[in-house]
Structure 1
Amino acid sequence: MSFGDPNPNPNNPYGQQPGQPPQGQPGYGYPQQGQPQGQPGYGYPQGQPGSGYPQQAPGTLQANNGYINVPVLGTVQVASMGRRLGARCIDAVVIGVVYAIFSAIGIAGAMGVADSVDECGSSLDPGYQSCVNEASSGFIATMLGMILVFGLITLLYEWLMISLLGATVGKMALGLKVVKENTGLNPGLGGGFIRWIIPIVGVFLCYIGALLVYLSPFFDNSGKLQGWHDRAAGTLVIKK
């Protein structure tokens, strides 16, 4: 045996102490040949549950940052209450102009009915009372007709536009859209009607109920800013 030989044992080609396994063999920090690195168990998560890369389900709000996953649309931003209020104001102006046109027509008709009372003659005439009754009935019919027209305008404007287009003129102007939360599509006639009728029912409570419905998104603690009418219809108001 030579003192300069680094491997005094010719039967130990790795030059290691007896009982120690040779380095570079499977099980000692090196993956086996043919086994790709980056698989589970080698410190490379692949987006599986528990790996730190969770998969977001549709309808999941992302960390309360105002973004939400919606089927078909992907990740979209929930509309702010400021934009929604602005859209509502624009819609009020549009409907107000239409109301004004029909109101002018209705007032002209009511004035015509009032003038007809003067044509009934003297109260001493035999047919005076029946003439007045007929004129009064015409006036009442005119006023009821105006109320009916106003209701139809609101119905057709809000219901049909939201149902078929997902937006009214005000929402289009401010880049907003109403979609079904579980599909990402337009609400449809059923969803649009439910969303429309709930505030209308509140109108019969001295408008307080309607005001509460429109303010109800402030009470939504889910972060989706869904009003009571949105929850009933299963809709979301998003920014396009």
Structure 2
Amino acid sequence: MGNPYDPYGQQPGYGQQQPGYGQQPPAQPGYGQQPAQPGYGQPPSQPGYGQPPAQPGYGQQPAQPGYGQPSAQPGYGQPPTTPGQSGYQEVHHHHYGSTGQLAEWGSRAGGYIIDYLIFAAPTFVLYLLGVLLGGSGSGGAALLGVLFMLIGLALSIAGGLWICYQEGTTGQSIGKRQMGIRLVSAQTGQPIGFGMAFVRKLAHIADSFLCYIGFLWPLWDERKQTFADKICNTIVVRA
């Protein structure tokens, strides 16, 4: 027979006391009634001091945003992250740091040809006249021919030094200025100075090895450098 004090016909659990004679059983919420809520102005009960908040049970997933609710957005001023991308942006190999775009081989060859025509062509003409006069058999003509060759040699040396000075101080010879390119240090992006420009001219000897392959090396090199550029750590960029 059920307990007359239990409205649902439930028996008291193990270890629970029976209500005494004349005592009312504890009130149970009736069908359809909600359990007692905290009074107006009273906050709901919080976990005690030092007690961690309730965690999801074993096998339960943490709460996810509901359907139709947007996910968390990045803070103000922060760019959105795109899947598959990282914060590092690779620099294209045609650009080298802050020095600008690397000059193409055609521009470099055009600048070299202009410099050659300005300084080497007169030297070649004087040298050719010296050879012709020297082979005429006349003593005066031979002496004049030697003089022409010496003038041509001096002009060639002076032209080379002038190009070194211009490239070392401004990064541009006459030919490079016409082609819109500039010689700079690969490390600093600044002109390399007269001394290093002179050393670079001497290093062009390495470019002439194996059928002048060093002059063609910028066609497939990542930094578009000749052997002389690699020796002196220089690059040629668009001005």
What TM-score, normalized to structure 1?
Answer: 0.57
Could you say what secondary structure the match of 2:191 adopts? coil
1:196 pairs with 2:201: yes
Cα shift at 1:214? 1.7
Partner of 2:183: 178
Q: Which residue pairs with 2:217 in the alignment?
A: 216
Between the aligned partners of 2:209 and 2:121, the Cα distance in structure 1 is 24
Alpha-carbon shift at residue 174 of structure 1 (Å): 1.5
Match of 1:67 among 95, 115, 127: 95
Matched ranges for 1:45-60 at <5 A? 52-54=86-88
CA distance in 2, matches of 1:63, 1:28: 44
Aligned equivalents of 2:31 and 2:107: distance in 1? 88
Contact 2:130 2:142 survives alignment (8 Å): no
Q: Is the 8 A contact 2:119 2:155 kept in 1?
A: no
Q: How far did 1:167 drift?
A: 1.0
Does the aligned pair in 2 maintain the 1:90–1:169 contact within 8 Å?
A: yes
Instruction: Determine if contact 2:122/2:152 at 8 Å carries over to the other structure.
Output: no
Query: 1:157-183: per-residue Cα shift (whole Å, max 9, x none)?
Result: 331111111011111112100000111
Contact 2:115–2:173 (CA under 8 A) maintained in structure 1: yes
Residues 210 and 194 of structure 1: CA distance in aligned 2, closer, same or farther (over 3 Å): farther
Aligned to 1:226: 225
Find 1:85's aligned residue among 109, 121, 141. 109
Partners of 1:84 and 1:109 in 2: CA distance: 32
Matched position secondary structure for 1:236:
strand
Query: Letter of the aligned partner of 2:228 in structure 1?
Result: H
On the 8 A contact 2:171/2:182 being kept in 1, the answer is: yes
Residues 35-81 of structure 1, C-alpha deviations (whole Å, 9 max, x = no match): xx969xxxx7999xxx921377xxxxx243x1110xxxx25111111
Give the AA of the match of 1:99. T
Equivalent residue, structure 2, for 1:236: 235
In structure 2, the CA distance between the partners of 1:55 and 1:184, relative to structure 1 (3 Å rule), is same
Going from structure 1 to structure 2, the CA distance change for 1:168 and 1:13 (only over 3 Å counts) comes to same
Identical-pair percentage? 19
Two-structure CA RMSD over aligned residues (Å): 4.4
Residues 209 and 98 of structure 1: CA distance in aligned 2, closer, same or farther (over 3 Å) = farther
- Whose radius of gyration is greater, 1 or 2? 2
**Aligned twin of 1:8:** 35
Larger helix share, 1 or 2: 1
SS in 2 for 1:185: coil
User: How far does the alpha carbon of each residue in 1:75-96 deviate from its partner, in whole angstroms, 9 at most, with x for none?
Assistant: 5111111211222222222224
Report whether the alignment pairs 1:103 with 2:126.
yes
Q: Which amino acid aligns with 2:200?
A: R
Deviation at 1:210, TM superposition (A): 7.9
Query: Unaligned stretches of 5+ in structure 2?
Result: 1-28, 46-52, 57-61, 65-72
CA contact (8 A) 1:180 1:236 kept: yes
Q: Would you say how many aligned residue pairs link Structure 1 and Structure 2?
A: 183
Corresponding residue of 1:166: 171
